[in-house]
Amino acid sequence: MPGHAPVIVLPPLTTGGRRVTIHGQIAGLAHGRGDVAELVRRAGLGSEGAVIDLLDTALVEWRGGGVDDWPAPAA
Encode pLDDT of 26-74 as tens digits.
999 999 999 999 999 999 987 667 789 999 999 999 999 999 999 888 7
What pTM did the predictor assign? 0.89
Which uninterrupted H or E stretch holds 18? strand 18-22
33: three-class secondary structure by DSSP: helix
Angstrom distance (rounded) from CA 13 to CA 74: 9
| pLDDT tops 80 at residue 2 | no
